[in-house]
Amino acid sequence: MPHFKLTLEYIGTAYHGWQVQPGLPTIQGLLHDRLAMALRQPVAARGAARTDAGVHAVGQVASIESPVEVDPGRLARTLNATLPADIGVVGIERVSSEFHARHSARGRIYRYQIVQGEYISPFLGEFAAHVRAPLDVEAMDQAAGLLVGEMDFSSFCAAGGVSDSPVKVIRRSRVSVRQGNQRLIEYTVEASSFLQHMVRTIAGTLIEVGRGRLKPERIPEIIASRDRPLAGPTAPAMGLFLVQVLYPDLAQDRIG
């Protein structure tokens, strides 16, 4: 049977995350429904990342095993015609039977957005956390850099979060600013994989650093403690985006 890789983007505001949950709207649940309509049989879509409720994606990946032969371009058009406007199929390509969206991935890139200032545009309200107080971006970036490496990130995991191991490898962690009508602060992080709420907890901790409530030098101490209460609060879901899933053939094709 043919295997396909689907690249998806979605606004997560109206959904209870990626993974199917009985009686609740989820991205995976809607995708299963529309795939069954298009292919006339139930089809399971395996996602590369289980984004939480309210989290967005511009580069989610799913893999499927189709029960019938189908042209990938035609399947993409059919899905886009039937999915709601806040979910889109960027592209579909045929892959080998060994490809698995999650297990074949070698890394993921997330971005967290923060608008700093008295006012937040209604066009950004669903896509960024709003912090009115001034933020020291240089201190935030210094703190972010101290997260790079292979470490036990238990201090940044949701209480009761499930994972094979709390040890993760962060390859890139930085804070930058985009100036426009609003001051948009972006935290970009790349890792082999992530713990539950890990990026949002790091973002919340970096905001505390930016406010001056936490010194960047405290980051190694927080990591070493493996104690969640020592890290900052979990930042709101609306500021988080899954930007890209990295595979061996895409290792050099990384975003900014």
- From 62-66, 116-120, 246-250, the region with the lowest mean pLDDT: 246-250
Considering the candidates 33, 52, 71, 141, report the single residue annotated as catalytic: 52
Element housing 77 (H / E): helix 72-82
Q: Given this model, what pLDDT does residue 179 score?
A: 78
- Report d(CA 210, CA 140) in Å as an integer: 5
Shared-domain flag, residues 128 and 197: yes
Average pLDDT over residues 25-54: 96
User: Which of 95, 127, 142 finishes a domain?
Assistant: 95
Domain termination site, one of 34, 67, 95? 95
Angle between helical axes of 137-145 and 198-211 (0-180°, round to 10): 140
The four Cα atoms 63, 86, 157, 46 give a dihedral, to 10 degrees, of: -10
Strand extents, DSSP E, the chain: 3-10, 46-47, 56-65, 87-95, 107-116, 129-131, 149-152, 167-179, 183-191, 240-246
Full-model pTM: 0.93
Residue 254 — pLDDT band, cuts 50, 70, 90?
very low
Handedness of CA 146, 150, 151, 157 (dihedral sign): positive
- More confident site: 180 or 66: 66
pLDDT at 252: 39
Which DSSP symbol is given to 202?
A: H
What is the number of structural domains in the chain?
Answer: 2
**154 located within any domain:** yes
Domain boundary among 65, 95, 125: 95
CATH of the domain at 85: 3.30.70.580
What pLDDT, on the 0 to 100 scale, is given for residue 163?
64
Confidence of residue 162 (pLDDT cuts 50, 70, 90): low
**Residue 27, domain extent:** 3-95
Predicted confidence band at 256 (pLDDT cuts at 50, 70, 90)? very low
Is 52 known to be catalytic? yes
Q: Are residues 55 and 116 in the same domain?
A: no
34 and 129 part of one domain: no
Residue 236 domain-assigned? yes
Q: H/E element holding 138?
A: helix 137-145
